[in-house]
Structures are given as C-alpha cells and as structure tokens.
Amino acid sequence: MYQGGRVSWKSVRLELARSPEFPRGSASRAFLLRLPLCGDGSIDAAALDKNVNQAIVRRFWASDADQAGKISRLDGEWLLICSRAGASSTFVMQNDRLVVDQNITIVGPDAVALPFRVVSIEPISASPVAS
C-alpha cells in the first residue's frame, strides 16, 4: 500500500482504448468509477473497506443499457460488480494504479480482456455520500 501521502476520493473515467475491433478506441464504451486513491494513483484498499458503499461503478456501453454497481476487492483483484434488471455482471480490473493516459486491462464476464485508457481523474469535492 502507498505510504507517501493523503488518500482522497476521486471520480475516474475509463474509455475503451485502441484494439483490433476499435482502432481509434471508443468514448461510448466506458466505466466511471468513484474510489479512494493515494497520491501515486493506487487504490487504497483500507479506505475502500471502511466505506464500501461509497465505492461505485457505472458502465456505459453503446450497445447495452447502462449498468451501475459496487467496487470491491477479492483475492487481490478489483471487482466491478454491475447490475441491471435483476442480473449482475462482474468485471475484473487488473491494475492497482490509475494514472491519466495510462492503459489498464478489464476482463469481462465473458473472460475477454479489453484495454481501457484512464481519460480523467477528478476530485470529489465533498465526502462521499450513500447512493
């Protein structure tokens, strides 16, 4: 865990990065995350555990209805658990650090790994509140 500074809650936007299917990437295929980040961009697991209901995810996909859910950690992996119409899907985020313009990998429920680019990281002005 990062020991060099203060943890703060951030809003992070991930957009589908370049891939064979999407050579230019796709802004209409994205995740919006709300989670606690340390100064180096690492996710603070202890702060997330203390405020588990504050760590949320929204999934925007051009061909699907939007999904919303929670972020959790299990066996060293970050899980983005999204639900829609009574069904849930789990996406696995394989990176522990989120830095603007960095690519990360997310594995979908179909076991397909896709690259996503960290497009923005914005501070959340007030303490997270229950949604």
Write down the pTM of the prediction: 0.87
CA 6 to chain centre: 20
One pLDDT digit (tens) per residue for the chain, 131 residues:
444 456 799 999 999 999 888 999 999 999 999 999 998 999 999 999 898 899 999 999 888 888 999 999 988 889 999 987 778 899 999 887 999 999 999 999 999 999 999 999 999 865 444 44
Strands (E), 4-128: 8-16, 26-37, 56-61, 67-74, 77-84, 87-93, 103-107, 113-123
Q: How far apart (Å, rounded) are the C-alpha atoms in residues 121 and 101?
A: 10
